[in-house]
Chain A
Amino acid sequence: METAIKINNLTKVYKDITAVDNLNLEIYDGELFALLGVNGAGKTTTIKMLATLTKPTSGDALIFDSSILKDEDKIKEVIDVSMQETAIARKLTVEENIDFYAKLSGQSNEELQETKEKIIESFELSKVLKKQASKLSGGWQRKLSIALALVSKPKILFLDEPTLGLDVIARRELWKTINELKGKMTIILTTHYMEEAEALSDRIGIMKDGKLLFVGKKEELFEKTGKNNVEDAFIEIVSGGELL
């Protein structure tokens, strides 16, 4: 399996807090990798460093052999990101948002049309296409925000807490959409919803205090901890079993 991301001793220190501590990890092309951790574990900082939004204090990561330290422009050609907060142009319609991102990523009119049709179909956006983004429900806004991350046709998609704050129906709908993306690109998803990681991921990484405590398939996680669901296994790893 080809390596999409190779992280080598990646560290980020903010003043006296080490947000990410000597992280080493390999993520394969086409897999959905879920990064789990409680608040402050270092998940978002890791994503920000990989997405070239924050410079690491030390260490490096290679994204399809391009360094996040030296090849920022090359990396920007193959990645996109959907952060925790909804990232949409609020006063533009759904269609205008798609057009805006497609044009900004340099797509020709023909390409843009093709991209738009695919995005509208995949995310079932046709019924809200002419609606102003600010007038959509929270679930639809988040869906649009994720859809926009795909407009640039990334090879690697970072999804930071994609379902945070959504109701259960909106969350399940987004799961369905994310599931449909599996295999088409490499997806790195951070979440603190254990059932989300269980339902969607090929492999799981568990972080605590900036350190990676476990990497593997869920079956390996269950085997290691002796538990039969991700939540119990996560608690076992993070708290050393004290909370079970």
Chain B
Amino acid sequence: MKQSLSRIFILMKRNIKEILRDPLSLIFTLAMPLFMEILFYLLFHKLTAQFEMKYLAPGIVVFAQSFIALFVGLLIAVDRSTSFLTRLYVSKTKSFEFIFGYALSIVPIVFVQSILFFLVGGIIDASIFSISMIYAILLSLVTSLFFIGIGILLGTICSEKSIGGISSIVIAGQSVLSGMWFPIEGLGEGMINFMNCLPFRNATLLIQNTMNGINDTFNDFVLPLIIVLAYTIVVFIVAIIMFKKKMKDK
């Protein structure tokens, strides 16, 4: 157990360095969402409640997490294509240690993302500062696990070349199906029900509701949390199975 934890920690440190030393990952996970947060607030917050900071900041937090899927996936796909993982398979490292090593390396980045987007949101609109913001930051670590799981799964099954295109489906999914960029009231009932069954909208609602107050505990908090966790568990189980399979195939 001690050896496993030690190996996970070593892998985690290496993965953090690999991600942070890629300037593109910093641009997409931090700079671009931050720019969008400021821009959309300035342009639209007086036009629609959608872009008031109390909704926009939590939405941006989850939106930025969708880029995490791309960078985790890219890291794993590159590790596979360069035989880096093949070499590690010859070591005593187990498949669950690899998965934890990749997953945990992202958590500090997600934490920084959440603090940054909430902090800047609060500087722009001080009314969003409250104790609920701390709960929302902590809960964003939970929602990030879904995107981390997707990243691990895509990195395991996709090639270095295809991962960008396929990850963009997840990013587009989060943009469109979360309903954060447009009012969903105008959509058909079927479409709204479809969005409510998927993790994207529920992850966004979970953080928004935690931040802005929960009126109906089950519908505003418990149900979105269950849906996000259910998808996360399924994605991680599939990712672990596929990763183990790839390990054996090597």
Residues of A at the B interface (CB closer than 8 Å) are 48, 51-55, 73, 76-77, 79-92, 96, 100, 103-106, 132, 148-149, 152
B residues less than 8 Å from A84 (CB atoms): 83
How many residues of B sit at the interface, in one of the four size bands?
20 to 34
Cβ contact within 8 Å between B14 and A100: yes
Does A89 contact B3, Cβ atoms closer than 8 Å? Answer: no
Nearest-CB residue, chain B, relative to A100: B14
In angstroms, Cα B88 to Cα A53, docked, is 10
Evaluate contact between A148 and B87: CB separation under 8 angstroms: yes
A77 / chain B contacts, CB cutoff of 8 Å: 92
Bound Cα distance A90, B21 (Å): 10
B10–A104 CB distance below 8 A: yes
Contact B3 A81, beta carbon cutoff 8 Å? no
A53 contacts which chain B residues (CB < 8 A)?
A: 86, 89-90, 250
A-binding residues in B (CB < 8 A): 3, 6-7, 10-11, 14, 17-18, 21-22, 78, 81-84, 86-93, 248-250
Q: A86-B83, A149-B87 are in contact. List 16 more A-B contacts (CB 8 A).
A: A52-B90, A53-B250, A76-B91, A76-B92, A83-B83, A83-B87, A87-B87, A88-B82, A90-B18, A90-B78, A100-B10, A103-B10, A104-B7, A104-B11, A104-B91, A105-B91
Nearest A residue to B22 via CB reads: A91
Instruction: Provide 27 A-B residue pairs closer than 8 Å at the C-beta atoms, listed in order of the A residue.
Output: A52-B90, A53-B90, A55-B248, A73-B92, A81-B86, A81-B90, A86-B82, A87-B82, A87-B83, A87-B87, A88-B82, A88-B84, A89-B18, A90-B82, A92-B14, A92-B17, A100-B10, A100-B14, A103-B10, A104-B7, A104-B10, A104-B11, A104-B88, A104-B91, A105-B91, A106-B6, A106-B92
Establish whether residues A89 and B83, one from each chain, have CB atoms under 8 Å apart when the complex forms: no
* Distance to closest chain B CB from A162 (angstroms): 12
Q: A80 — which chain B residues lie within 8 A by C-beta?
A: 87, 90
- CA gap between A149 and B88 in the complex, in Å: 10
Which 9 pairs from chain A and chain B are nearest by CB?
Answer: A85-B83, A87-B83, A91-B21, A87-B87, A83-B83, A91-B18, A53-B250, A103-B10, A87-B84
Residues on A with C-beta less than 8 A from B88 are 104
- Of listed A53, A77, A84, residue having the most chain B CB within 10 A: A53
